[in-house]
Structure 1
Amino acid sequence: MLRVPPLHFVLALCCLCPCQAAAHPHEFIDTQLTFRADGEGRLGEIDVVWVWDDLTSMLIIEDLRMDSDGNGELTGEEKQRLAAKFSQWPEGYGGDLYLSRDGSSVELRRPLDMKADYLKGQLVLTYLRALPERIPLDQTPVILQAYDPSYYAYYELSGIPEVRGRDGCRVSIVKADTGAAQKLYDQLLGQLTEEEMMEQGKYPEVGGAFADQVVLKCDAQR
């Protein structure tokens, strides 16, 4: 089963046909991330805020038949329906958020406390991802990336993520080599046939190469 980007899975839920991915992103999502530690200084949750670009926001609102009066605002009932719709993640969809430590992937649960709004023409989602097993924040870096493997959507980090509930931590951003990523995308795209792209919906899954890395490192607790 092919993975479905955010707009794709919403349209699929509405029984609409997803658009074909191309060699550049079609959705642009400002992304705010916050690390949350528990009382023992272990990483337990990551807060996520997605803010879509104006065009994609308008398409989603129209396709879901929201804002029926056209005043640019959603009713409380519409916000609840929108949040419920975005909580219905397809099987195998990882939420475009990837956490790793010591070179190994760290599991994240499906979204909790999903909230949705439509502010100044932009769709805004706020939710959290919990770790099934909390991990200690010590001198071993934790790496977090936000990306769509297909590169249909591009996640732009909104500032440097914060760390709450734990002192002695530093967050840095390692910028992606977009030139090298684009060359890789073009190379892999050239290896696909027209039938694979148009009929089978295949695409190069190199979105991670375009994504910045968020590196979290904390001092050892005394």
Structure 2
Amino acid sequence: MPICHKSLLKTGMAFFAIAFSVPALAHPHVFAEARLDVNVDGKGNIKSLHHVWRFDDLFSSTVLVEFDKNQDLALNQEELEDVAGVVHTSLADFNYFQMVTQGGKDVAMEAPERLIADFVDNQLIILFESKPEKPLALGSTVSLGVYDPTFYTAIDFIEDSYMTVNDLPAGCSKAVVRPDPDEALAQNQQTLTEAFFDDPVGNDMSKIFATRLEITCSKDS
């Protein structure tokens, strides 16, 4: 299948221009296993998020073919940097698939300075760190997750232990929330119309299906 970068950019799927030339549909075509480490400083502020995504074999093999310039069936450091650069640029308009809210309101995140790409056991791995634009003090519930607003990619946390908080302050608790798809559809049936699923640039409502980590602190913590 020929690679059509221009077509994918028009549909908002720039990240997958490295491998696909079809528009986003209402179900995922790429799968990744995610890990998230939330780092809290000594003042009770979330100072950074550390993301790790491990992609499925099919997508990884496509990336290998596309970026293996010397055709040695491996990705050297220069080729891996090319992969990381493409992903970094392409996901900028999607906030790097991050979902961060406090008290139900979106939290602005700085764009990561760089992404790191690796290839382990025939699977593409993407790593990056991001930080809130302003100090994010733990207080009202903070919700964190990863989702693709176009529904093209399914990025999920296979185990609850894949979402961690380092140095969680006393008086605070964390919980992994996995929305039930049927319940999410039923609760949002008026907004989840056919037009919503056909929107190629995505929609924030798709976050209702995303696994999320919730951090809640008592008022006197």
TM-score range, shorter chain: 0.7 to 0.9
5 Å matches for 1:175-194?
Answer: 175-181=178-184, 184=189, 188-189=193-194, 191=195
- Given that residues 43 and 135 in structure 1 are in contact (C-alpha distance below 8 angstroms), is that contact kept between their aligned partners in structure 2? yes
- Give the superposition deviation at 1:167: 3.1
- Give the superposition deviation at 1:85: 2.2
5 Å matches for 1:98-137?
Answer: 98-137=99-138
Using structure 1 for the length normalisation, give the TM-score: 0.79
Partner of 1:145: 145
Aligned with 1:85: secondary structure?
helix
Partner of 1:84: 85
Aligned with 2:15: secondary structure?
helix
Residues 1:154 and 2:154 are matched in the alignment: yes
Using structure 2 for the length normalisation, give the TM-score: 0.79
Residues 1:165 and 2:167 are matched in the alignment: yes
Q: 1:131–1:76: structure 2 CA closer, same or farther, 3 Å change rule?
A: same
Structure holding more helix per residue: 2
Unmatched tracts of structure 2, length 5 or more: 1-8
- Give the superposition deviation at 1:121: 1.4
Q: 1:63–1:49: structure 2 CA closer, same or farther, 3 Å change rule?
A: same
Residues 1:207 and 2:203 are matched in the alignment: no
Give the letter for the 1:114 counterpart.
L
- Give the superposition deviation at 1:219: 4.8
Among residues 12, 16, 22, which one is paired with 1:19 in the alignment?
Answer: 22
Partner of 1:95: 96
- Given that residues 51 and 127 in structure 2 are in contact (C-alpha distance below 8 angstroms), is that contact kept between their aligned partners in structure 1? yes
Give the letter for the 1:18 counterpart.
S
Q: 1:66–1:49: structure 2 CA closer, same or farther, 3 Å change rule?
A: farther
- Given that residues 11 and 63 in structure 1 are in contact (C-alpha distance below 8 angstroms), is that contact kept between their aligned partners in structure 2? no
- Give the superposition deviation at 1:81: 2.1
Aligned with 1:50: secondary structure?
strand
CA RMSD of aligned residues (A): 3.1
- Given that residues 172 and 215 in structure 1 are in contact (C-alpha distance below 8 angstroms), is that contact kept between their aligned partners in structure 2? yes
Identical amino acids, percent of aligned pairs: 21
**Aligned partners of 1:3 and 1:134: how far apart in 2?**
34
Aligned residues between the structures: 208
**Aligned partners of 2:200 and 2:176: how far apart in 1?**
33
**Aligned partners of 1:210 and 1:164: how far apart in 2?**
25
Aligned with 2:115: secondary structure?
strand
**Aligned partners of 1:21 and 1:205: how far apart in 2?**
15
Aligned with 2:39: secondary structure?
strand
- Give the superposition deviation at 1:90: 5.5
Partner of 2:59: 56
Aligned with 1:144: secondary structure?
strand
**Aligned partners of 1:104 and 1:170: how far apart in 2?**
20
Give the letter for the 2:15 counterpart.
V
**Aligned partners of 1:54 and 1:64: how far apart in 2?**
15
